[in-house]
Amino acid sequence: MSSSRCLIQESKPRDACGVFGIFGPGEDVSRLTYFGLFALQHRGQESAGIAVSDGREMTLYREMGLVFQVFDEETLSRLQGDLAIGHTRYSTSGTSSLVNAQPMVAEWRGGKIALAHNGNLVNALELRRELEAEGTSFAASSDSEVMLLMVAREADRQGSVEKGVAACMPRWRGAYSLTILTEDSVMAVRDPYGVRPLCIGRLNGQAIVFASESCALNVIGSEFLREVDPGELVVADKDGMRAQQVLRSPRQALCVFEYIYMARPDSEIGGRLVHEARRRLGRQVAKDHPVEGDVVIPVPDTGWPAAIGYAEESGVPFGEGLIKNRYIPRTFIQPDQRLRELGVRIKLNPLREALQGRRVVMVDDSIVRGTTKRRIVRMIREQGAREVHVRISAPPYRWPCYYGVDTSNRSELIAARCSTVEEIREAIGADSLGYQSVAGMLKGLRVPRRKLCLACFTGRYPIPIPKDVKLSKLDLEESAWREGEEEAKTNAPAASPTETPA
């Protein structure tokens, strides 16, 4: 296989979304939600929105753009209330347009419901067709709207939103971490596999806060209480906080890329600080793939912790060889090939003094499509580096994600198109290339295999993927395809809802 065939297009996996919620009588909930979303901006850069309730009426504002572009003092001053939810989006289902921005709002006979979703349903099309057959009209094209309208329908039937959500959960297959707002309550919901993170905090001893990551709790000064359990529905209202274990968890399947790339390094997930987990990954890849070098440099920003760990373990000095322009959003426009080539230089500028005449060990978290790595390697060589050795703290990314990370289809993944690591090395132009093994990754993370989704590395999907959805991302002929039934025959069955103290 030629190098040109291996190289497709650039970029990391596109992030999932960020969700936030607060029940806080007496608090400035719109501004707290704004700051929470600001802390979660890395999870989505296409649109942002906040829905607020004062106990009687609900107000929604959402727009395309980054959090600071969408909201200003005037906008926030109009969002008055005691409880709120917020969302920052990257589209994995549905187009990137205002109609798909979140939170989304629907009506039921008891009032309004707003929903913010992180994840992706694999059976959304089936559920949408069912609703359409019953006469439901859709304004958007995302799975999140399907979930919202299902909740509204079931709330009418069950007599409450809380019961409506519990009734819907057994029918949703895939990844979902939700915050839901009614006129008088905020809810947090997590799928039975726990694919996407969701946590609970307490602010000023009274207000209850929900967020995709604990970094958002830290930003607003909230105390971290615990994570929402897989299959759990948590409700915060005037009576306090209560939880239902609606679905039994057949197994945990937290997306391993939350540790590798998605989450902020100052977040805590599964009882582990993400920064330390990434640092251990770097130490582990140094053990498995040592190389003689003069300096270890990270690819900013997510490569930093792993590069520090690699330097610590290998004894090769750590240095900063690439400076990142942090004012370039991930949605940076690249109108033609010439400017696309310049895009990497605009985002990353090499330090000649740190690279010239040296054997450089460049550490990053992953290679997905490959083109960006090739440009960075070439840029480092242009600054006079004698050798460029690339070390990756994750295994080869070979399989697309269906649970809320947009890696498009398999034909765009360089590790799927190239049959060997040597071909990938040749494609990116490095002197050597060392990937973390799955076993080494698990050893570095110190998380049991049974608690993680490793589908992007192994092709084994814990939640079965419908055939039509599966084929949409499999452009390559693949005889080694193994369906998710190996690890999960069916989705989690409903348990008898039992209410427990939160």
Show which residues are catalytic.
17
CA dist 164 to 159, 160, 336, Å? 8, 6, 49
Distance, in Å, from the CA atom of 226 to the CA atom of 134, rounded to the nearest integer, reads: 39
Is the previous residue joined to 301 through a cis bond, with omega within 30 degrees of 0?
Answer: yes
Pairing between strand 207-211 and 18-23?
Answer: antiparallel
Q: Which residues pair with 235 in a beta bridge?
A: 187, 242
Distance, in Å, from the CA atom of 426 to the CA atom of 4, rounded to the nearest integer, reads: 10
CB 446 within 8 A of CB 271: no
Buried/exposed code over 360-386 (b: 16+ C-beta within 10 A; e: otherwise): bbbbbbbbbbbbbbbbbbebbbebebe
Alpha helices in 85-138 (DSSP H): 124-133
Distance, in Å, from the CA atom of 250 to the CA atom of 252, rounded to the nearest integer, reads: 7
CB 74 within 8 A of CB 45: no
Distance, in Å, from the CA atom of 309 to the CA atom of 438, rounded to the nearest integer, reads: 18
Q: Quick one: which H or E segment has residue 200?
A: strand 199-203
Q: Which residues pair with 207 in a beta bridge?
A: 203
Q: Quick one: which H or E segment has residue 363?
A: strand 359-364
Distance, in Å, from the CA atom of 454 to the CA atom of 445, rounded to the nearest integer, reads: 13
Distance, in Å, from the CA atom of 236 to the CA atom of 84, rounded to the nearest integer, reads: 11
